[in-house]
Amino acid sequence: MQKNDITIFRIIFIASALWNLLGAIFGYFNTAYTFNGLFNRDLNDPLFYAIYKGAWGTTFTYFFGYLIVAFNPLKHTGIVVLGAIGKVGFAISLLNLYLSELADSIVFIIIVGDFIFFFLFLYYLYRLYKAKEKIL
């Protein structure tokens, strides 16, 4: 893979890290408000609160993972595979909640963003494969 490609992928992974950090800041540090904004209902149950906050804690963890990949995109491909699975899984889950009328239309910001990063991650893995780089 050429140096220019690596630079582009570094930018993509920094952008993905910032995307996750933004979500984590809202979801983890203002949990009930974020839940209400996405699902138009109060988050009163302490168990649901802990689970929802924990999900945003996972999002915060992905922030660090994507920063690690940005540092060396040719070395940390496993993080990208897991990130791609997480992105598409979360986007599909939110889409299902929206289609079931359990989520407000604001979730489309997250759905579209995560699908964009999912496809960028797939493109990155494809480029590694075409360049005969080690993927895992």
Hey, what amino acid is at 125? L
Question: What torsion, rounded to 10 degrees, do the Cα atoms 121, 108, 86, 93 define?
Answer: -140
At residue 134, the pLDDT reads 81
At residue 30, the pLDDT reads 95
Name the H helices within 42-106.
46-71, 77-99
**Tokens (6 digits) for 133:** 């780089």
At residue 132, the pLDDT reads 87
Interatomic CA distance for residues 35 and 53, integer angstroms: 9
**Tokens (6 digits) for 117:** 């990063």
> Per-residue confidence of the chain (136 residues) as pLDDT tens digits?
788 999 999 999 999 999 999 999 999 999 999 999 999 999 999 999 999 999 999 999 999 999 999 999 999 999 999 999 999 999 999 999 999 999 999 999 999 999 999 999 999 999 999 998 888 7
At residue 135, the pLDDT reads 82
At residue 136, the pLDDT reads 77
At residue 1, the pLDDT reads 79
